[in-house]
């Protein structure tokens, strides 16, 4: 109890600090919240208190001018706000949601999309803050975890700083806010994973994994939403300026992606990485489905393929001997499309000796890796997260669990079948949007 109170206090202090820097507009904040949450727990007295403190009656006042009692009340309001929003059920990300507004966006589309995006981001941000707050005191004190925490507070602050309703019409502001959000959160995964590794001895492994699983899923979803918004705005501009009729993208969703082209792109990238790291490039051969196209989110599939081909290339190179010369043997990729159930299947087959049973049992655990400690963090085995470059997560054992998280986001599946001593088959099953959703 005491620990929870102290961690709350740390969070409040953080928020107060950031509030002071930007002279938070509580008047708008409370209006904004009432509009979105419908029945949020802020009653009239509460919102009056906020207005009274920092609204029109006290323009120009900063939080530093408030006495302890008022500080405390505002802190409690913010705490309530976080808890309130964290409790709100968040609808699953679906293709239907992504295809609701298509480019070119009308002003009304843009306004509605802004409302939905900000509302969802608010819920995700508060859910993350609440989850960080529930971590034990030792975690909250960890500097790396603290950095992640402050970033989410910063995001909350910027989301709440939008003036309702005019701020939502202001496309430039929205673009600035969402681009800022993506920039801010570029390196949080690396920082947070470091923090959690530092506290893992003091905190049950299952709880850490549960926290990470939820955290990464929310983080991926938040980034997808922000990127989707920005892509739609950008596409609208291009369609209007260049008078384009047929646009292949709906935000982050590609209507007919040629899968083999993406595979080739990824293969080249992985080849560069293995060349730098091992001085070898393992060939990749598309044995089936060269011409297949499928509607999907290219950045997600690119991430997954990169991680899987990286693992296969590493297996080939590390088990290569002058006799078998496995580094020269191609990894085989087969692509199948099943139109009857709108499914794409990709099989990545390698001959790199398979996965030992003790490794197989743990390979989907966060931070589980057979990369030697000494080789980790050298930044050479770079890996990529859609929309960002994170050099040092490599060899940290985030590859497979993150791939699974990406696959499951849109009801896909990732299965691995390994024959120890021989090789590994990775099966990716993606479900696509319906024809109606793409129309």
Q: Are 244 and 238 in contact (CB under 8 A)?
A: yes
Neighbours of 4 (CB within 10 A): 13
The option from ligand ATP, Mg ion, none interacting with 152 (CB < 5 to 8 A, set by class) reads: none
Tell me the C-alpha distance between 132 and 153, whole Å.
Answer: 11
Q: How far is the CB of 133 from ligand ATP (least distance, A)?
A: 28
Q: How far is the CB of 130 from ligand ATP (least distance, A)?
A: 27
Q: How many residues bind ligand ATP (CB under 6 A)?
A: 24
Among the listed ranges 228-236, 255-263, 307-315, 429-437, the one in contact with ligand ATP (CB under 6 A) is 307-315
Neighbours of 86 (CB within 10 A): 19
Q: Is the peptide bond before 104 cis (omega within 30 degrees of 0)?
A: yes
Q: Is 309 in the site for ligand ATP (CB under 6 A)?
A: no
Tell me the C-alpha distance between 391 and 384, whole Å.
Answer: 7
Q: Which of 187, 190, 307, 437 binds ligand ATP (CB under 6 A)?
A: 307
Q: How far is the CB of 250 from ligand ATP (least distance, A)?
A: 30
Question: Which residues in 376-435 contact ligand ATP (CB under 6 A)?
Answer: 381, 383, 393-400, 424
The option from Mg ion, ligand ATP, none interacting with 282 (CB < 5 to 8 A, set by class) reads: none
Write down the residue that tokens 């985030």 correspond to: 398
Q: How far is the CB of 352 from ligand ATP (least distance, A)?
A: 5
Write down the residue that tokens 């598309």 correspond to: 286
The residue number whose beta carbon is nearest to ligand ATP equals 399
Q: How far is the CB of 42 from Mg ion (least distance, A)?
A: 46
- Summarize as ranges the residues that interact with Mg ion (CB under 5 A): 311, 399
Of 397 and 433, nearer to ligand ATP (C-beta) is 397
CA angle centred on 67, ends 62 and 71, rounded to 5°: 70
- Site track for ligand ATP across 336-375, x = CB under 6 A: --------------x-x--x---x---x----xxxx----
Sign of CA dihedral 139, 141, 147, 148: positive
The option from ligand ATP, Mg ion, none interacting with 235 (CB < 5 to 8 A, set by class) reads: none
- Site track for ligand ATP across 99-138, x = CB under 6 A: ----------------------------------------
Q: How far is the CB of 146 from Mg ion (least distance, A)?
A: 28
Q: Are 416 and 404 in contact (CB under 8 A)?
A: no
The option from ligand ATP, Mg ion, none interacting with 398 (CB < 5 to 8 A, set by class) reads: ligand ATP
The option from Mg ion, ligand ATP, none interacting with 25 (CB < 5 to 8 A, set by class) reads: none
Of 16 and 284, nearer to ligand ATP (C-beta) is 284
Of 3 and 361, nearer to ligand ATP (C-beta) is 361
The option from Mg ion, ligand ATP, none interacting with 187 (CB < 5 to 8 A, set by class) reads: none
Of 84 and 350, nearer to ligand ATP (C-beta) is 350
- Give residue 407's Cα distance to chain centre: 12
The option from Mg ion, ligand ATP, none interacting with 179 (CB < 5 to 8 A, set by class) reads: none
Q: How far is the CB of 272 from Mg ion (least distance, A)?
A: 16
Which tokens in the block code for residue 148?
């992640």
Which tokens in the block code for residue 317?
């190179």
Q: How far is the CB of 293 from Mg ion (least distance, A)?
A: 28
Of 414 and 430, nearer to ligand ATP (C-beta) is 414
Q: How far is the CB of 192 from Mg ion (least distance, A)?
A: 18
Q: Are 325 and 279 in contact (CB under 8 A)?
A: no
Q: How far is the CB of 308 from Mg ion (least distance, A)?
A: 8
Tell me the C-alpha distance between 405 and 398, whole Å.
Answer: 10
Of 307 and 332, nearer to ligand ATP (C-beta) is 307
Of 118 and 394, nearer to Mg ion (C-beta) is 394
Catalog residues that contact ligand ATP under the rule CB under 6 A.
Answer: 307, 311-312, 315, 350, 352, 355, 359, 363, 368-371, 381, 383, 393-400, 424
């Amino acid at each position: 109890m005491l620990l929870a109170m102290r961690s709350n206090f740390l969070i409040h202090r953080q928020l107060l600090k950031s509030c002071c820097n930007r002279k938070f507009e509580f008047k708008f904040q409370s209006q904004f919240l009432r509009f979105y949450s419908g029945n949020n727990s802020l009653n009239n007295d509460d919102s009056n208190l906020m207005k009274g403190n920092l609204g029109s009656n006290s323009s120009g006042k900063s939080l530093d001018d408030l006495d302890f009692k008022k500080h405390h009340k505002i802190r409690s309001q913010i705490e309530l706000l976080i808890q309130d929003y964290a409790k709100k059920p968040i609808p699953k990300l679906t293709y239907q949601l992504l295809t609701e507004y298509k480019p070119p966006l009308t002003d009304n589309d843009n306004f509605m999309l802004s409302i939905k995006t900000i509302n969802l981001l608010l819920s995700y941000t508060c859910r993350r803050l609440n989850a960080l707050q529930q971590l034990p005191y030792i975690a909250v004190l960890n500097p790396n975890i603290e950095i992640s925490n402050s970033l989410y507070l910063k995001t909350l602050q910027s989301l709440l700083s939008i003036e309702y309703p005019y701020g939502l019409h202001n496309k430039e502001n929205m673009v600035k806010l969402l681009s800022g959000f993506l920039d801010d959160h570029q390196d949080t995964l690396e920082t947070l994973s470091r923090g959690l590794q530092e506290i893992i001895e003091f905190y049950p492994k299952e709880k850490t994994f549960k926290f990470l699983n939820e955290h990464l899923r929310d983080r991926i979803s938040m980034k997808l939403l922000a990127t989707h918004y920005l892509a739609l705005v950008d596409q609208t501009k291009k369609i209007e300026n260049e008078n384009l009729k047929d646009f292949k993208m709906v935000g982050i969703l590609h209507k007919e992606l040629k899968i083999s082209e993406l595979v080739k792109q990824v293969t080249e990238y992985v080849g560069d990485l293995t060349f730098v790291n091992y001085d070898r490039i393992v060939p990749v051969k598309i044995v089936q489905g060269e011409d297949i196209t499928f509607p999907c989110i290219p950045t997600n599939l690119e991430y997954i393929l990169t991680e899987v081909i990286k693992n296969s290339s590493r297996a080939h190179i590390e088990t290569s001997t002058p006799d078998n010369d496995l580094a020269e043997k191609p990894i085989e990729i087969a692509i199948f499309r099943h139109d009857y159930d709108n499914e794409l299947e990709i099989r990545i087959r390698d001959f790199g000796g398979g996965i030992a049973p003790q490794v197989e049992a743990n390979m989907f655990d966060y931070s589980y890796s057979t990369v030697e400690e000494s080789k980790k963090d050298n930044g050479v085995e770079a890996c990529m997260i859609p929309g960002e470059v994170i050099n040092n997560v490599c060899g940290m054992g985030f590859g497979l669990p993150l791939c699974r998280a990406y696959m499951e986001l849109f009801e896909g599946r990732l299965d691995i079948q390994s024959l120890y001593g021989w090789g590994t088959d990775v099966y990716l099953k993606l479900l696509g949007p319906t024809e109606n959703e793409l129309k």
